[in-house]
Protein backbone atom coordinates (compact mmCIF):
# COMPACT_ATOMS: atom_id res chain seq x y z
CA UNK A 1 0.00 0.00 0.00
CA UNK A 2 1.24 3.46 -0.88
CA UNK A 3 1.25 6.47 1.39
CA UNK A 4 1.52 10.18 0.73
CA UNK A 5 3.61 12.00 3.30
CA UNK A 6 2.52 15.43 2.08
CA UNK A 7 -1.15 14.61 2.69
CA UNK A 8 -0.26 13.12 6.07
CA UNK A 9 1.51 16.35 7.00
CA UNK A 10 -1.35 18.45 5.65
CA UNK A 11 -3.80 16.45 7.75
CA UNK A 12 -1.74 17.03 10.87
CA UNK A 13 -1.43 20.72 10.10
CA UNK A 14 -5.18 21.01 9.41
CA UNK A 15 -5.90 19.38 12.77
CA UNK A 16 -3.54 21.70 14.64
CA UNK A 17 -4.89 24.75 12.82
CA UNK A 18 -8.44 23.65 13.60
CA UNK A 19 -7.70 23.54 17.32
CA UNK A 20 -5.96 26.94 17.20
CA UNK A 21 -8.85 28.53 15.29
CA UNK A 22 -11.38 26.95 17.69
CA UNK A 23 -9.51 28.46 20.65
CA UNK A 24 -9.41 31.82 18.91
CA UNK A 25 -13.15 31.61 18.24
CA UNK A 26 -13.81 30.84 21.89
CA UNK A 27 -11.68 33.71 23.19
CA UNK A 28 -11.66 36.38 20.49
CA UNK A 29 -14.87 35.69 18.63
CA UNK A 30 -15.22 36.28 14.94
CA UNK A 31 -18.24 35.55 12.82
CA UNK A 32 -16.56 32.85 10.73
CA UNK A 33 -13.92 31.28 12.99
CA UNK A 34 -16.10 28.47 14.34
CA UNK A 35 -17.10 27.38 10.84
CA UNK A 36 -13.46 27.54 9.72
CA UNK A 37 -12.41 25.46 12.72
CA UNK A 38 -15.10 22.87 12.02
CA UNK A 39 -14.03 22.50 8.41
CA UNK A 40 -10.38 22.13 9.37
CA UNK A 41 -11.15 19.57 12.08
CA UNK A 42 -13.54 17.53 9.94
CA UNK A 43 -11.17 17.32 6.99
CA UNK A 44 -7.98 16.65 8.99
CA UNK A 45 -8.83 12.95 9.63
CA UNK A 46 -9.86 12.53 5.99
CA UNK A 47 -6.51 13.91 4.80
CA UNK A 48 -4.69 11.65 7.28
CA UNK A 49 -6.63 8.58 6.10
CA UNK A 50 -6.09 9.39 2.44
CA UNK A 51 -2.41 10.04 3.11
CA UNK A 52 -2.08 6.68 4.85
CA UNK A 53 -4.08 4.67 2.32
CA UNK A 54 -3.20 6.40 -0.97
CA UNK A 55 -3.86 3.13 -2.79
CA UNK A 56 -4.71 4.73 -6.13
CA UNK A 57 -3.73 7.85 -8.00
CA UNK A 58 -7.37 8.89 -7.95
CA UNK A 59 -7.51 8.64 -4.15
CA UNK A 60 -4.32 10.70 -3.82
CA UNK A 61 -5.70 13.25 -6.28
CA UNK A 62 -8.93 13.45 -4.28
CA UNK A 63 -6.85 14.28 -1.20
CA UNK A 64 -5.19 17.16 -3.02
CA UNK A 65 -8.56 18.43 -4.27
CA UNK A 66 -9.90 18.31 -0.69
CA UNK A 67 -6.82 20.12 0.56
CA UNK A 68 -7.19 22.86 -2.05
CA UNK A 69 -10.87 23.20 -1.17
CA UNK A 70 -10.16 23.49 2.55
CA UNK A 71 -7.44 26.07 1.97
CA UNK A 72 -9.69 28.25 -0.20
CA UNK A 73 -12.84 27.87 1.90
CA UNK A 74 -11.20 28.34 5.29
CA UNK A 75 -8.83 30.98 3.94
CA UNK A 76 -11.76 33.04 2.72
CA UNK A 77 -13.62 32.75 6.02
CA UNK A 78 -10.57 33.75 8.04
CA UNK A 79 -9.74 36.61 5.66
CA UNK A 80 -13.24 37.98 6.29
CA UNK A 81 -12.63 37.94 10.05
CA UNK A 82 -9.04 39.19 10.06
CA UNK A 83 -8.92 41.48 7.04
CA UNK A 84 -12.56 42.45 6.81
CA UNK A 85 -12.69 41.35 3.19
CA UNK A 86 -12.71 38.20 1.11
CA UNK A 87 -9.56 36.32 0.15
CA UNK A 88 -10.57 36.98 -3.47
CA UNK A 89 -13.96 36.97 -5.22
CA UNK A 90 -15.62 33.55 -5.18
CA UNK A 91 -12.87 31.94 -3.06
CA UNK A 92 -15.37 30.32 -0.66
CA UNK A 93 -17.69 28.98 -3.38
CA UNK A 94 -14.72 27.66 -5.37
CA UNK A 95 -13.35 26.04 -2.21
CA UNK A 96 -16.74 24.54 -1.38
CA UNK A 97 -17.10 23.19 -4.90
CA UNK A 98 -13.64 21.63 -4.69
CA UNK A 99 -14.63 20.00 -1.39
CA UNK A 100 -17.74 18.48 -2.99
CA UNK A 101 -15.70 17.27 -5.98
CA UNK A 102 -13.00 15.90 -3.68
CA UNK A 103 -15.50 13.87 -1.69
CA UNK A 104 -17.10 12.55 -4.90
CA UNK A 105 -13.63 11.52 -6.10
CA UNK A 106 -13.09 9.68 -2.81
CA UNK A 107 -16.35 7.83 -3.50
CA UNK A 108 -15.32 6.97 -7.07
CA UNK A 109 -11.86 5.85 -5.93
CA UNK A 110 -13.52 3.14 -3.84
CA UNK A 111 -14.27 1.35 -7.12
CA UNK A 112 -10.77 1.65 -8.60
CA UNK A 113 -8.42 -1.27 -8.20
CA UNK A 114 -5.48 -0.39 -5.88
CA UNK A 115 -2.09 -0.01 -7.49
CA UNK A 116 0.42 -2.79 -6.99
CA UNK A 117 3.65 -1.86 -5.30
CA UNK A 118 6.59 -2.99 -7.35
CA UNK A 119 9.59 -4.29 -5.47
CA UNK A 120 12.94 -3.46 -6.96
CA UNK A 121 14.92 -6.65 -6.67
CA UNK A 122 17.77 -7.45 -8.95
CA UNK A 123 18.54 -10.92 -10.15
CA UNK A 124 22.01 -11.99 -11.21
Mean residue pLDDT across the chain: 92
How many domains, in total, are found in the chain?
1
Domain-located, residue 98:
yes
Note the pLDDT of residue 114.
84
Domain-located, residue 54:
yes
Domain-located, residue 24:
yes
Residues of the domain holding 34: 5-109
Domain-located, residue 118:
no
* Confidence tier at 117 by pLDDT (50, 70, 90): low
Domain-located, residue 88:
yes
Q: For residue 124, is pLDDT > 50?
A: no
Note the pLDDT of residue 120.
54
**How many whole angstroms separate alpha carbon 46 and alpha carbon 37?**
15
Element (H, E) at 27: helix 5-28
Amino acid sequence: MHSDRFLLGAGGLAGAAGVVVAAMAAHAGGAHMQTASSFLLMHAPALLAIGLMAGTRLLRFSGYVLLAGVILFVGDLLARDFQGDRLFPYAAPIGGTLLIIGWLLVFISAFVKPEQRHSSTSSD
